Structure 1
């Protein structure tokens, strides 16, 4: 229902002051500067055709005064303002703003209402007729109670200062799941996403004629790596896969001497150390004077016996690095005793002490077990084993001894280790083999997880120190393949455990 209009429309038609406050929404009343109150009035947006919009325009006359105390404590649901004049100082309502019921921009009811609000801010006396009448009421009231007026205005100023402003932003903490879906985090700014492939500098290609084309074209034509280089990099990626958990022990076994057990240990360690970022060590646990340290070409003058004696004084990697020898691939080697009489004293207890120290500083521990599998060190070696590597030669007796080694392990409680083991068929003589290598491959594949063929290499056959970069490409590829298979087996065993 629209509020009743002022009868004196001709005189104060543009004052924008309500004649009565019946039906006026008071929830929008707020105190503004100049000691005036502003009332928000909601205008209907829909009306019948016979109704004139002028009927909904607020006609201007005086709006009744409200006590300051009532104005501060008005409830939100109160829908009318009482029209009785207060006994204490009151604030005149000088302006009325109109807004539609639906979300729409607020419009001023009349120009006079806006003018009166501006005048109230700049001058102490109101300029409109309604404001003049209101000010007269204030004057009459203030004449009877000047002390109350001053106290009320002071209280009003205090409330204006301490009352919180709704426009201030309140900072709130957010949980991880409260973030918007369409907002990205910084980890999505990856190089693959941001860098333009056309401007990314590709590495120099590997391969003879591909690198020649790249050089002659002024580094503008890059055909990429050759097939061999891509295969090598794929093998390196397989070897470099991280291993979870503690140190892993991989013994290299053989029941017959001269089949290349020490050579396989050296090549496996070099391939692992060359591709991986963690530390690799090869321990020579041969009781009969092993030659593992001689195959890497570098010696420290210390042996496993020195590590056993100093195990209590090893507190960091610097202490153990003074005992081991390291080659150019970063493979560390712990040599055996050169004196055979002293080496006989190296027992399973000594190996456990060495293994305990090595497990603190290395990720993979290779063990060259020497000839035979029944000597004193073998029991402790098999107890620590996570994966087995058995070496077989390309002759009838060497192949039989390797197969019998598998049988002995299965009979002594290591059947599970045999099924996950790797057999290396080592070609130690030049020329064609006297036995069918394919038949040997098929036989061992029926008993173990994988079989790797190691080709003949004159660099190895010379018996001198092995340089990994000087090996034939086929020999390096076979060593890397063996290392990749060993790493895959170690990862599988850790998942199963």
Structure 2
């Protein structure tokens, strides 16, 4: 085969092979760019330098550098495609690295290799195929060979952390958060025995397999108990029960209110008889001893715990504690404003609710301290014209003597102490007091109360118990509103 050099080949920096020339440089197309690579052909003779047409078509160059580039491209084809699919911008950056790497290899090659090896001729078709084969690898294939395999970033393990692990001790849960509602599975907890005639009958007949829940009345009763048992934040709350006229049932209302509260609540409730005229509050419960408020006044500086008070107070079946007044009126008269404050100070340490039976009138010696400490006021009115007027005048006196807020938040109890229908129209009486106070509650007549003996809360008529519980619920709600 006769070979001759193309006159333009020496001046062609791109080293493109034509039909009559064979040079030692060729071009690799990388991502749309052309890089010049110096290739040293093996052998020292003309016979060895000839490249067969088959080897050119197969793309098997004997040059070690080009062969390594092409083989590496095929080996890393999968990795390069994955990387290029993740980010299109990496292709251009990789191309630049490839061009720079090839340029470095070119510079490192012996400068004499370009002129030492004889140039052999090749057919035009072979040169065309050789040039195409050199630029044939896709940009993705050519990008990978000269770059070290890209290390995949370490997998990030996402683990949820409790807030306490980040903030320290301040967010750690306390034991009171382990409630039954949170921990117990409702499907595994059996319902309590239902209350109500039909509900209980169905529960019994079905062999305790069908439990439709409480009846309507039972649900209403439990809802009312929940209202009464609502927690009261802060210290003790003082609630005086006032009346301008004797015989309207002030002491009875104090006892009923205290029993309803103590029966539904878990905290302690005490009723203090501060009547300077021989009060009868302790007579409305079963007394077990003759201790009185005077005994507490005497030891108020020596009280170390609740056991000291429990030896003085009387307690009924609802857990209501009652601090009786002195039986001797002459001694009771000595019960002063300062004495009441001492008693109130001791009671505030051991009770959440302190009810005070203030006796008749609002200007006696104890009334000033009672009103100063009052969080809520209860005013009792009888069902007659003069009794209603006195109750309304009590509100007026409070408004004009610095207790306007307590007067507007007061609870008016319309107590019926005699049997039969009252002579006054209750609707009109109730409408009047609703314009002056926050709540009005009716207390019906009850034979047990009218008898004047000890009151057994469970033995009262259902209507009386319901009215007392409504009064207790309204009181607790009023105290919660005032504390907000």
- How would you bin the TM-score normalised by the shorter chain? 0.5 to 0.7
Q: What is the alpha-carbon distance in structure 2 between the residues aligned to residue 281 and residue 5 of structure 1? A: 108
Distance 1:465 1:263 in 2: 10
1:370 aligns with 2:359: yes
Residue by residue, what CA displacement relative to the aligned partner does 1:106-137 show, whole Å, maximum 9, x if unpaired? Answer: xxxxxxxxxxxxxxxxxxxxxxxxxxxxxxxx
Deviations 1:14-55 (A, max 9, x none): xxxxx89xx99xxxxxxxxxxxxxxx9x97547998239999
Q: Report how far residue 411 of structure 1 moved.
A: 2.1
Q: In the alignment, what sits opposite 1:399?
A: 388
1:203 partnered with 2:192: yes
The residue that corresponds to 1:239 in the other structure is: 228
Name structure 2 gaps, 5 residues minimum.
Answer: 1-29, 43-63, 70-75, 85-94, 96-133, 168-172
Look up the match of 1:390.
379
Q: 2:202 aligns with which of 213, 220, 223?
A: 213
Does the alignment pair 1:380 with 2:401? no
- 1:452 corresponds to which residue? 441
Distance in 2 of aligned mates of 1:454 and 1:442: 16
Tell me if structure 2 keeps the 8 A contact 1:43–1:56: no
Higher helix fraction (1 or 2): 2
The aligned counterpart of 1:292 is 281
Aligned to 1:281: 270
Corresponding residue SS for 1:312: coil
User: Per the alignment, do residues 57 and 309 of structure 1 end up closer, same or farther by CA in structure 2, a change over 3 Å counting?
Assistant: closer
Kept after mapping to 1: 8 A contact 2:80/2:144: no
**Which of 477, 480, 484 is the equivalent residue of 1:491?**
480
Q: Distance in 2 between matches of 1:416 and 1:405?
A: 14
Over 3 Å counting, the alpha-carbon distance change for 1:4 and 1:253 in structure 2 is farther
Output aligned runs, 1:99-118, within 5 Å.
99=149, 101=150, 103=152
Structure 1 residues 232, 55: closer, same or farther in 2, change over 3 A? closer
1:288 deviates by 0.9
User: Secondary structure of 1:430's match?
Assistant: coil
Q: Matched residues in 1 for 2:79 and 2:191: separation?
A: 70
Q: What residue number does 1:339 align with?
A: 328
Bigger radius of gyration among the two: 2
1:50 and 2:136 are equivalent in the alignment: yes
Q: CA deviation at 1:191?
A: 6.3
Helix, strand or coil at the partner of 1:452: strand
RMSD between aligned residues? 4.1
Matches within 5 A, 1:7-406: 44-45=80-81, 50-51=136-137, 99=149, 101=150, 103=152, 199-406=188-395
Contact kept, 8 Å, 1:285 with 1:370, in 2: the verdict is yes
Change in CA separation of 1:488 and 1:188 when aligned onto 2, cut-off 3 Å:
closer
Give the C-alpha shift of residue 197 in structure 1.
5.2
Structure 1 residues 408 and 103: alpha-carbon distance in aligned structure 2, compared to 1, 3 A threshold: same
SS in 2 for 1:376: coil
Q: Distance between the aligned counterparts of 2:286 and 2:423, measured in 1?
A: 32
Deviation of 1:209 (Å): 3.4
Deviations along 1:74-122, whole A, 9 cap, x unmatched? Answer: xxxxx9xxxxxxxxxxxxxxxxxx73x4859xxxxxxxxxxxxxxxxxx
Paired with 1:494 and 1:483, the residues of 2 have a C-alpha distance of 17
- Cα drift, residue 271 of structure 1: 0.8
Q: Which has the higher contact order (CA 8 A, sep 6+)?
A: 2
Is the contact between residue 248 and residue 415 of structure 2 (CA under 8 Å) also seen in structure 1? yes
The Cα of 1:317 is off from its aligned counterpart by: 1.2
For the residue of structure 1 that corresponds to 2:239, the secondary structure is strand
Q: Distance in 2 between matches of 1:49 and 1:485?
A: 93
Change (3 A) 1:343 1:188: closer
- Contact kept, 8 Å, 1:240 with 1:277, in 2: the verdict is yes
Secondary structure of 2:388's aligned partner: helix
Deviations 1:342-384 (A, max 9, x none): 1111011100110111111111110001111111111111111
Partner residue of 1:28?
Answer: none
Q: Distance in 1 between matches of 2:244 and 2:366?
A: 14
Q: CA–CA distance in 2 between the matches of 1:188 and 1:375?
A: 49
CA contact (8 A) 1:5 1:58 kept: no
3-state SS, counterpart of residue 423 of structure 1: strand
Deviation at 1:332, TM superposition (A): 0.8
Could you tell me how far apart the structure 2 residues matched to 1:49 and 1:396 are? Answer: 116
Following the alignment from structure 2 to structure 1, what is the Cα–Cα distance between the partners of residues 361 and 265?
31
Preserved contact between residue 254 and residue 390 of structure 1 (Cα < 8 Å):
yes
Q: Does 1:424 align with 2:416?
A: no
- Tell me how far 1:178 sits from its aligned partner: 6.5
- Tell me which residue corresponds to 1:123: none
